Amino acid sequence: MNKSSFLSVFLFLILAIPTDRVTAEQSDYDPEARLKELGIELPAPPSPVANYVNGVRTGNLIFLAGKGPKRADGSEITGKLGAEISIETGYEGARLTAINQLAVLKAMLGDLSKVKRVVKVLGMVNSTPDFVEQPAVINGFSDLIVEVFGDRGRHARAAVGMASLPRGQSVEIEMIVEVEPE
């Protein structure tokens, strides 16, 4: 294939890529409207329980400190997976943790549509040594993040077991998010 033919094929392929999906996704992107559709009202962001801040922004990245499954009334989902609590309860704890992290993110950004991409999630599960279903638990977090942000919510992730977590909470989850420039 000569240089001219290669260039023609390359341009054809580039121009043939459908852009309507990207445009539609961008025009339909409204995480806060999605939260309303899901019936989720964000609480006030949980306060740090020690000497740290909820999140740190550096450039276009926000690093959110670990949060747990704290309810609006201050109670938490506690217990050890593989002992006192079920995978379903752990999943709900992880989902509640996602809501708490979204509340922090909203407080930091003012508008969740400024989220360009959820980059990385670290999910820690309070579990017995023989419990191996940590990913099923942390799916509670990941599933909600994808429901809210669509493809922008798909993230790299680790789901690991811990011998214990602060106050006996069932999960603690950190998140790294890419946001629009200031």
Domain boundaries, the chain: 31-179
pLDDT (mean) for 68-94: 97
pLDDT (mean) for 138-161: 98
Cα angle 67-69-73, degrees, rounded to a multiple of 5: 115
Fold assignment, 31-179: 60s Ribosomal Protein L30; Chain: A; (3.30.1330)
| Per-residue pLDDT tens digits for 19-60 | 444 334 456 899 999 999 999 999 999 889 899 999 999 999
Phi-psi region for residue 32, left (φ > 0), alpha (ψ -120 to 50) or beta?
alpha
Name beta bridge partners: 159.
Answer: 123
Whether the per-residue pLDDT at 84 is higher than 70: the answer is yes
Rounded to two decimals, the pTM is 0.85
Whether the per-residue pLDDT at 15 is higher than 70: the answer is no
Cα angle 159-146-40, degrees, rounded to a multiple of 5: 105
> With the CA atoms of 71, 112, 37 and 119 taken in that order, what torsion angle do they form, in degrees rounded to the nearest 10?
-80
SS3 71: coil
